[in-house]
Structure 1
Amino acid sequence: MTSSHWLIIFTLAVAALSIRVIGLFAGSKVRASKHTWVLEELPGLIVVSLIATSLSGQSAQMWMAAAVALGVAITTNHVIATMCLGVVAFGSLSLIMG
């Protein structure tokens, strides 16, 4: 390998380490601030945003199955039951609605 290859490897290693160190310091600053609630709510917000973007442009069957899954999630608070009943709802609605 040439010296330019080693320079690129070294630069990328320093960049990767810097990103981690900056994230560590930034995370500790956020935890110590009044914006701590953002970190506590972030995983749920990410999941909701992924689901919302997945549903955009989907069929009526998908939206109804998502509504069933939401109802199951609210009622049972059980991930596996929510997934199973959501899939069953989608399959049933696809058979009925064609």
Structure 2
Amino acid sequence: MTFPFWMLIAVLAVAAFSIRVLGLLAGESIKSSRHSWMLDDLPGLIVVSLVASSLAGQPVGTWLAAGVAFFIAYVTNHVIWTMCAGVAAYAGLVWFGF
């Protein structure tokens, strides 16, 4: 490899390391602030935003399967049962032409 490739690798490595260090520093400063209570709900909010953006523009069958998965998650609070029910509902709806 030539020198420009090694420089690119070095710059990307420093950038990746810097992003991680800055994230740790920012996280520590947020944890010690008065806004730390917001971090408790952050993982759930991230999951909801990912699911909502994935469902945007999907057909009705996908929304129905997501509804079934949501219901199972609400009733059982069990991740494996929720995934199995969602996949089974989606497969059934695809099988029947939704």
Pairwise TM-score range, normalised by the shorter structure = 0.7 to 0.9
* Pair 1:40-2:40 in alignment: yes
Asked which structure has the greater CA Rg, the reply is 1
> How far did residue 80 of structure 1 move?
0.8
Superposition deviation, residue 96 in structure 1: 3.0
Evaluate the alpha carbon distance shift between residue 70 and residue 6 of structure 1 in structure 2; reply closer, same or farther with a 3 A threshold. closer
- 2:5, 2:83 → 1: CA distance? 48
Provide TM-score, normalisation by structure 2: 0.80
Who is 1:25 aligned against? 25
Shift of 1:5: 5.1
Runs (5+) with no aligned partner, structure 2: none
Q: Cα distance 1:10–1:83, how it changes in 2: closer, same or farther (>3 A)?
A: closer
Deviates more, 1:30-39 or 1:67-76: 30-39
- Once the two structures are TM-superposed, the CA of residue 19 in structure 1 deviates from its matched residue by 2.3
* Worse-matched range after superposition: 88-97 or 10-19: 10-19
% same residue: 54
CA displacement at 1:87 relative to structure 2: 1.4
Match of residue 95 from structure 2 = 95
* Count of residue pairs the alignment pairs up: 98
Q: How do 1:59-98 residues align onto structure 2 when only pairs under 5 Å count?
A: 59-98=59-98
C-alpha deviation, 1:2, in angstroms: 5.9
Shift of 1:58: 0.9
TM-score, normalised relative to structure 1: 0.80
Superposed displacement of residue 30, structure 1: 0.1
